[in-house]
Amino acid sequence: MMKIGFFSFTCCEGCTVMFIELLNKKFFEYASKVDIQNIRVLRSNETIGSLDIAFVEGAISTQSEVKKLKEIREKSQMVVALGSGAANGYPSNQRNSFDETRKKEIAPLVKKLHQLDEISPISKFVKVDDQINGCPVSEDELAVKMEGYLKKFS
């Protein structure tokens, strides 16, 4: 059985919701093939165990996110950047290109929220084995990728 986890960082969690939508169609097929260890939208499990695949959604904006991302990488055979935020930082990284006036304006909030100076895709911090682009990802593309992952880890 393939062990997977879904982890969300700076994002809206729309890509994880697309996986839930996929489960509406594939639940009985996946039930005997996939062991979902972590997925905050369905159940809370703060412990990160050994995973075959970690689906990581969202950009990285804090040092605590960097730390958790590195732990996920250490415990996963494969890391998949799920969606545009994880793959390229967008749309959260738009603040990286703000002009100096706007950056000064938001500086107190950035400091209060312990944000990094720049918001980055996950590949800046860990090795990424695959990515699924989109904001949110396409349910059909996610299904195709899942089929490939199931073949790889069965």
Which pLDDT score is estimated for 42? 81
Query: 79 is in which domain, residue-wise?
Result: 2-152
Residue with tokens 């400091």: 111
Q: Structure pTM?
A: 0.94
| CATH number for position 119 | 3.40.50.700
Which pLDDT score is estimated for 31? 95
Q: pLDDT tier at 141 (50, 70, 90 boundaries)?
A: very high
Which pLDDT score is estimated for 72? 98
CB neighbours of 152 closer than 8 A, spacing ≥ 6?
A: none
Which pLDDT score is estimated for 148? 97
Which pLDDT score is estimated for 118? 96
Q: What is the pLDDT of residues 92-131, one digit of tens each?
A: 999 999 999 999 999 999 999 999 999 999 999 999 999 9
- The DSSP-derived string for 9-26 is -BS--HHHHHHHHHHHHH
Nearest CA to 85 out of 101, 108, 69 is that of 69
Which pLDDT score is estimated for 61? 97
Token pair belonging to 143: 């299904």
CB neighbours of 101 closer than 8 A, spacing ≥ 6?
A: none
Q: How far apart (Å, rounded) are the C-alpha atoms in residues 76 and 32?
A: 20
Which pLDDT score is estimated for 147? 97
Which pLDDT score is estimated for 40? 86
Token pair belonging to 107: 């500086």
Looking at the structure of the chain, the number of domains it has is: 1
Q: What is the pLDDT of residues 61-87, one digit of tens each?
A: 999 999 999 999 999 999 999 999 999
Q: What is the pLDDT of residues 38-50, one digit of tens each?
A: 998 887 778 899 9
